[in-house]
Copies of this chain bind each other. A is one copy, B any other.
């Protein structure tokens, strides 16, 4: 018994029959005595179709107009859902972004939520309504419709949950929770019962595509319990919570892997102030995103500097770097584009020593050479040759005791 926010993505509302399935699930939650706010995405494929239509109308569609056009996608699903719920004998009411008072800044196509007027939603809930809120959309101070960018409906749901102080925000997806690693790589991957916001953010940014990273930031900021679960079953999924709410006693919560990494190395660069800036300015000017940067000091006033970029940017970045290398007097600029980044993530490592060495030993035991290392407070990432990626994931999964009981 409480207030539950339930968010369903595009594949869950892809047609009228699927929307009816969602309606049945919503009604079940209501029958359990809960007040329910439903947040919906557009039907799968609709947003892409609308973008295509916009590009038929204009080479470079105006952002404000595009947002107003795209918002029709969620407008369609929420009104259909509310009609169905009415038809099933429930009081239900759809709210578009402006009606739900989801105020954002004015950054068209990638707006950020500033505030949500909770009073309207809460009043409707008190009056016995199921409130069906359009995800992905908001309104700015000038009354213009805005959208929150890809996956923005997750953020809408969490933000609404925060505003009305919901007991839980349920995110329904096509997977049944957050796993210790990708089950398609490691068949011993285990569904996590709980995970912390910080861990989830590291997981999300490293390739586990369960939750939009911005929605997790929002959930952390407002301490909204998020339940990631499957729209196809009633099984419990994974709770995303703050660290101190009884996490499992795991040192490591997950192992992630992203392929398609490339490195570029400057050898024997004069170790003088400003050299890094001269290397990275032209890279940034070419709008190439740099991930890891590592610099070692050599003897004799020289240094080696290596950084990683996405494989897609490799050729371009290498050409730029070779130019830079000549200018700054590097002995050599070389690179490789057959790399992968394997990471272990866990808030537990803050309080456990030896995590890094366990990781390095486990990889070494399988003959996997570590090319680069970077760390955050709750993450250690190693660059390895791409061909070892899957093996590295399985080895680390095992080494940190994540394998499920057979």
Whether a CB of chain B sits under 8 angstroms from the CB of A19 is yes
Question: For the complex, what is the distance from the CA of A61 to the CA of B87, rounded to whole Å?
Answer: 7
Chain B contacts for A391, CB-based, 8 A:
none
Question: How far apart are A397's CB and chain B's nearest CB, in angstroms?
Answer: 45
What is the 8 Å Cβ interface bit string for chain A, positions 59-90, against chain B (1 contact, 0 not)?
Answer: 11110111011011001101111111011000
Q: Which of B16, B19, B54, B75 contacts A83 (CB 8 A)?
A: B54
Is the CB–CB distance between A83 and B98 below 8 Å?
A: no
Band of interface residues on A: 35 or more
Chain B nearest CB: distance from A370 CB in Å? 50
Q: Does A299 count as interface, using CB distance less than 8 angstroms?
A: no
Let me know if A99 is at the binding interface, CB within 8 A.
yes
Picked from B58, B60, B75, B144, the residue with its CB within 8 Å of the CB of A69 is B75
In the complex, are the beta carbons of A87 and B72 less than 8 A apart? no
CB within 8 Å for A68 and B64 given contacts A54-B80, A84-B58: no
Complex partner residue of A75 from B20, B72, B82, CB under 8 angstroms: B72
A1 within 8 A of partner (CB): no
One of B53, B61, B69, B83 near A62 (C-beta < 8 A): B83
Cβ of A56 under 8 Å from chain B: yes
Contact B69 A57 (CB under 8 A): no
**Which of the residues B16, B58, B96 comes within 8 Å of A86, measured between beta carbons?**
B58
Q: Which residue of B lies closest to A60 (CB)?
A: B87
A94 interfacial contact with B, CB 8 Å:
yes
A68's partner among B75, B84, B145 (CB-CB below 8 A) is B75
Q: A383 contacts which chain B residues (CB < 8 A)?
A: none
Interface residues as binary, A111-129 with B (CB distance below 8 Å gives 1, 0 otherwise): 0000000000000000000
> In the complex, A394 Cα to B84 Cα: how many Å?
53
- Chain B contacts for A20, CB-based, 8 A: 57
On chain B, the residues within 8 Å of A66 by CB distance are 79, 83
Ordered by A's residue number, 23 sampled pairs between the chains whose C-beta atoms are within 8 Å are: A16-B53, A16-B56, A19-B57, A54-B79, A54-B83, A57-B81, A57-B84, A58-B84, A58-B86, A61-B87, A64-B93, A65-B83, A65-B86, A65-B94, A68-B75, A68-B78, A69-B75, A69-B76, A69-B80, A69-B83, A71-B75, A98-B98, A98-B143
